[in-house]
Structures are given as structure tokens and as C-alpha cells.
Amino acid sequence: MMSDAQVSARIAEAEVDAFQADGAVHLRGVIDPSWIDLLKTGTEKVLTAPGKYGRTQSKPDDPGFFFTEYFMCDYQPEMRRYGIEGPGGVIAARLLRSEQVRFFYDGLFVKEPGTVRRSDWHQDQPYYPVNGGQVVVLWTPMDPAPAEVALQVVRGSHLWGKAFTPVIFSTEQALAFDDSYSPAPDIDTARDDHDVLSWDIEPGDVIAFHGMALHGAAGNPTGGRRRASQTTWLGDDAVFSRRPGKLEPHFEHLDYPEGTPLTDAAAFPKVWPRH
């Protein structure tokens, strides 16, 4: 098992610079195989007995099967162990150049072979009441994923200064936000107008992307499964900021004065430094 120092040393300064400038970076071999095994075990348990946010995103007559779940660290021991004890905290601290890192939440994206339903282009931060530049999502595949089916990111979109209206995947319904939010552009119909970052990715690798980076993923036309975990991490400058509309009920208990640093250990356990 790699030590935290070994994980950190695998991330070159140029990769940190790329993350900061592009809003995303592909990190190779930063997650030990034993963590991937733990994620796979957790995934099967979640598929068998999902929590209250488990959703089938593909419609009954859609080919394939696309399943998502969130907040597994609250109820699923394998996922919790990976989130809290795994290498995510040190990776996030390095990429965010943050003194401290707090675990925020996790997600699961399973696309069985032949899945047509895609993950629409979106930014993550509008879905939750957190502002700040030091927010990173670590997207971690459990299966090899060629670039066409892995997560893709529009280069530099985290610096556009734009916030896009969240849309609930399963119902395709936009949340009722005010006009400080606009609909996300459909990158697929105008791909040539955008610089889309994509990578062939293996288990053990991570695509790290900024909370305001515009990202999406195709369905899964391949013959293999495409299971991926995401964990979301908050750095020093992350603060509470109320969104102009209703969010997932899970976030409703988060209620602080606007701009409060997110250091409430019950909601945001500190994972870096380790002690």
C-alpha cells in the first residue's frame, strides 16, 4: 500500500499547475488496487441495497442500465473507509494547494454495457451550497474506460465566471433557480467550439476536476461495465453559500450564515492533515 507521501510524490508540480489552469487533470496510478477492490465490493452492496438517493437514470425501455447513488459514506462501511481513510485527502490537498482538506460527499456512477443514457454536461457546485475556489472532485474508475466513455471536461470552464442551472438527471428537470444561473451549453452539438479534455483511463487513475468545471460523460457502448466513484473535497477557502432554490434534501440541514467557513466537523470531517 502506498504511503500518503508516496501518493503525493506521484503528482508532479506540472500536474497541479494543469489542474489549476485547466480545471481538470488525469493522474495515473494514485489509487492502490486494494482500494479499488474495496470500492468494487461497496458498489455491489450499494447496487443490491441502495440508500435513499439511489436512482436508475436510464428509462425502463432504454438500452443498458445507468445507476447513480450519493452520500454512501453515511451508511456503507466500504465506501466510508475509502472516503475517510483512503488517499483522496492527500490528493485533494496537493491539487488544491490547501493546508486542510475536508471530506464532503461521495457518488457512484454505474453504466452497464450498452447503456445509451449519458451523463449530461453540468457543473457540480451549483448542486450544493458551497462556494470557493478550493473544491475538487476525484473521479475514480473501477474498470478501464476509454476516453469516449470516461468523464470529459471542458478545459478552463471553471474560470468562465458562469454558473449553470442544475438539472436532475433522471427527470431532466431544471431546478427553479434565478437568472444568475443559465442553462448549461450543449457541448455535444458544438464540440468543435470547445476544448474538451478526455483521457483513456485505468483503475488506479483519477480524473480530478474543479467543482465549477463543466463536465459530462457518454453512455457506455462498450462490452464491459463502467463503474466509477466520485469523492468531493473542500479546501481552506470553501464557504457556505445558499443557492436560490431547493436542493437535494440531503443538503437541507446545512444551514449557516452566508460565507461561513465549512469547518463543522460533523458535516465535513477533516481528512488532511491526518491528525
Ligand X SMILES: O=C(O)CCC(=O)C(=O)O
- What are the residues binding ligand X (CB under 6 A)? 107, 109, 119, 124, 137, 139, 151, 215, 217, 228, 230
| Neighbouring C-alpha atoms within 13 Å toward the C-beta of 201 | 30
Closest CA relative to residue 143, chosen from 169, 179, 108: 108
SS3 110: strand
Smaller CB separation from ligand X, 157 or 230? 230
Distance CA 93, CA 236 (A): 9
Closest CA relative to residue 186, chosen from 118, 115, 112: 118
Smaller CB separation from ligand X, 13 or 171? 171
Smaller CB separation from ligand X, 14 or 171? 171
Shortest CB 79 distance to ligand X, Å: 14
Shortest CB 225 distance to ligand X, Å: 12
Distance CA 126, CA 181 (A): 9
258-268: b (≥16 Cβ within 10 Å) or e: eeeebeeeebb
Shortest CB 84 distance to ligand X, Å: 19
User: Which grid cell sits at 118?
Assistant: 449519458
Shortest CB 191 distance to ligand X, Å: 17
Q: At what angle do helices 33-48 and 77-85 cross, to 10 degrees?
A: 150
Smaller CB separation from ligand X, 4 or 74? 74
- Largest CA-CA distance found in the chain, in angstroms, rounded: 50
Smaller CB separation from ligand X, 69 or 124? 124
Distance CA 30, CA 41 (A): 19
Shortest CB 209 distance to ligand X, Å: 8
Smaller CB separation from ligand X, 101 or 142? 142
E strand spans, 93-188 = 101-111, 119-122, 130-131, 135-141, 152-154, 167-168, 173-174
Smaller CB separation from ligand X, 102 or 122? 122
Shortest CB 57 distance to ligand X, Å: 9
Shortest CB 8 distance to ligand X, Å: 23
